[in-house]
Structure 1
Amino acid sequence: MNNKELLKKSIIIQKNMSGQRIDNFLFKNFKKLPKSMIYRSIRIGKIKINKKKTKPFYKLKINDCITTYSIKIDVKKKKIHLKKSIINLFLKNILLEDKYLIIFNKPYGFAVHGGSGINYGVIEIFRKIRQELTFLELVHRIDKDTSGILILAKKRSILKKMHENLRKKKIYKEYLALIHGHWSNKNKIINLPLLKRKDVTKKKKVYVHENGKPSQTKFKVKKYFNNTTLISVIPVTGRTHQIRVHTSQFGHPIVFDKKYGNIKQEKKYILKRNNRLLLHSYKISFIHPKEKTKIFITAPLDKKFKYCLKYFSKK
């Protein structure tokens, strides 16, 4: 395998480049560089913004200076070989597609993008399926363990407009979750700051912390079962693992949440091939960035989620 060294290089961000995350910018401009290497280079300071270390989610501004420092890369491009079943699953799960957007019902278990040991995610799969497109990017992200609505943009101008709408909270998102215990109707709005840090096992986790970022979630009870509650959840802010941490903090973790729940206590409930996190991005509505029409989309639950609801309704 041939190796090549990427020497020191500086890029000044122009108006048409601004507004996007630095990781997405680097993916497109250094296509031969593995995503895992990009993330590592940002983390250790081999890639800097204005001579300072940065984060992958940093949004580029006009006149920002990206500097890359001597990174060894493998010039062999990794090919994606997709099974026909995956292609068919993705095509079947498209809820809406036009010249500007793809709205997709993401299956549980798929990361939104590759990296950190994951060969490819939703964005790489769609780029393979829609090879005729010159531009395709994620508008937002949802966890690998969460299913439901995910939006992709086919044009940079559309991506920037959708990001602007997200910042201005003009995009309505609603989730469904099955949680342990009975959620109190008094807990309609939760305001708890969230902070990302490593736990004792050195894995990244989100905690309620006074130094965290402001985080607000709205809750509504849909149905009570004997030992669980089906709830509707509206994340007003969009922090990592926000819904999962807020429910867990009140003693009602989402069923089968391996990170914030107690999976040992759930062993008696775990069903064959059905121990998926019971969190689903259910509804979304917004004004189309180009057509100016009202878009309202509902993503149906998959068979596993429906089966679990039926199972827990009898417990």
Structure 2
Amino acid sequence: MANSPPAAPSVQFIDIRADQAGQRIDNFLITLEKGVPKSRIYRALRKGEVRVNKGRIKQTYRLQAGDQVRVPPLRVSEKVVITELSESLTDALESAILMEDDDILVINKPAGLAVHAGSQIQLGVIEAMRIIRPENRFVELVHRLDRDTSGCLVLAKSRAALLNLQQQMKASETDKRYLTLTRGKWPAQENIVDLALQKNSLSSGERMVVPDINGKKSKTLFEVKQEFSGCQLVTAKLYTGRTHQIRVHSASQSHPVAGDEKYGDREFNKHLRQYGLKRMFLHAWQLSLKHPISDEPLTFNAELPDALKDVLKQLEKQ
């Protein structure tokens, strides 16, 4: 994996393509300058540091094909830019592709790989796929998965596809199902958890999601598939897509996800390490949606990783 040296911050002049037209300037900058605080971007817009066709614009301005955007240096310090992937990561991602056409790319995301780079993460799925597919000028995440969650992840290869798929998810027109191993025994075969969720920040700076009546509406269906000693394999169907929804909803019912270091049970996690569990047992197993261009119904299935299959085999022996 090759790293290029940090470049000195400089003003960029970007010519807007037809496939970029229609989006608000603030959203364009947020996508362009990942990792830069939104407050910094909005300050640059207010102060006129960002200009379109040499003129000041408001944050609500919608870009048009042919516009030239002046983008000032926005980062306090430049991050190392990764321009080349290791052969093993390239092969792993290529073999993880479940479907690809001109508009969408669906992969079975490996656990441990973030979906995008962040303050402590130099490389994520989206950056890696842009390196692997340099011919595609547009590749964007449609939704997210936690770093330790594996399974179905959808990327858009055109702006029209991105907007359509995001609208499907916002309108709950997609069907997302996960496989997870949880502590204890659920009270019924099917269990609905309907608790609003709110993001909180602790004094340590850690971000947690908690049930809160003033939070965002959230709903999950947990269905028991297989029972083991002290735990159950369940499917979780998302009716909403909140951050850490499955993990918080299951923990709120005293059935935390196995291997979850944030919301889980320490003793339960320690017990399952005896059966070979070295990660969080949460896998985006199935995703159904409509093709963003043809409207064709599509269903994707991501096979459970071997490491999680092996844990289930060890549990079955008990």
TM range (shorter): 0.7 to 0.9
Shift of 1:299: 0.6
Residue 273 of structure 2 corresponds to 270
* Partner Cα distance (2:26, 2:209) in 1: 21
* Partner Cα distance (1:175, 1:86) in 2: 24
Task: Give, as a single letter, the amino acid of the residue that structure 2 aligns with 1:81.
Answer: E
Aligned counterpart in structure 2 of residue 203 of structure 1, from 203, 206, 211: 206
SS of 1:46's partner is helix
1:174/1:67 CA distance change after superposition, 3 Å: farther
Q: How does 1:163-242 map to 2 (within 5 A)?
A: 163-185=166-188, 188-242=191-245
Tell me if structure 1 keeps the 8 A contact 2:82–2:123.
no
Question: Runs of 5+ in structure 2 lacking a partner?
Answer: 1-5, 13-19, 47-58, 64-68
1:253/1:5 CA distance change after superposition, 3 Å: same
Task: Give, as a single letter, the amino acid of the residue that structure 2 aligns with 1:261.
Answer: G
* Partner Cα distance (2:293, 2:166) in 1: 14
Task: Give, as a single letter, the amino acid of the residue that structure 2 aligns with 1:226.
Answer: S
Residue 155 of structure 2 corresponds to 152
* Partner Cα distance (1:19, 1:237) in 2: 26
1:167/1:246 CA distance change after superposition, 3 Å: same
1:189/1:265 CA distance change after superposition, 3 Å: closer
* Partner Cα distance (1:93, 1:201) in 2: 36
Aligned counterpart in structure 1 of residue 134 of structure 2, from 131, 136, 151: 131
Q: What TM-score do you get using the length of structure 2 for normalisation?
A: 0.82
Identity %: 33
Note if 1:4 corresponds to 2:9. yes
Q: How does 1:274-289 map to 2 (within 5 A)?
A: 274-289=277-292
Task: Give, as a single letter, the amino acid of the residue that structure 2 aligns with 1:16.
Answer: A
* Partner Cα distance (1:20, 1:297) in 2: 34
Shift of 1:26: 2.4
SS of 1:127's partner is helix
Tell me if structure 2 keeps the 8 A contact 1:47–1:69.
no
* Partner Cα distance (2:60, 2:226) in 1: 49
* Partner Cα distance (1:20, 1:94) in 2: 32
Q: How does 1:89-168 map to 2 (within 5 A)?
A: 89-168=92-171
Tell me if structure 1 keeps the 8 A contact 2:183–2:268.
no
Tell me if structure 1 keeps the 8 A contact 2:177–2:286.
yes
Per-residue CA deviation, residues 10-60 of structure 1 (Å, 9 max, x unaligned), is: xxxxx93438993xx326545xxxx33x1xx32xx2222886xxxxxxxxx
1:173/1:27 CA distance change after superposition, 3 Å: same
Shift of 1:115: 1.0
1:2/1:131 CA distance change after superposition, 3 Å: closer
Aligned counterpart in structure 2 of residue 299 of structure 1, from 302, 308, 314: 302
Residue 254 of structure 2 corresponds to 251
Task: Give, as a single letter, the amino acid of the residue that structure 2 aligns with 1:139.
Answer: V
Deviates further, 282-291 or 86-95: 282-291
1:83/1:253 CA distance change after superposition, 3 Å: same
Q: What TM-score do you get using the length of structure 1 for normalisation?
A: 0.82
Per-residue CA deviation, residues 139-175 of structure 1 (Å, 9 max, x unaligned), is: 1111101110000010001111111111121111111
Task: Give, as a single letter, the amino acid of the residue that structure 1 aligns with 2:225.
Answer: K
1:75/1:304 CA distance change after superposition, 3 Å: closer
* Partner Cα distance (1:73, 1:202) in 2: 21
Runs of 4+ in 1 over 6 A off after TM superposition: 64-70
Residue 311 of structure 1 corresponds to 314
Per-residue CA deviation, residues 87-115 of structure 1 (Å, 9 max, x unaligned), is: 11101110011111101000111100001
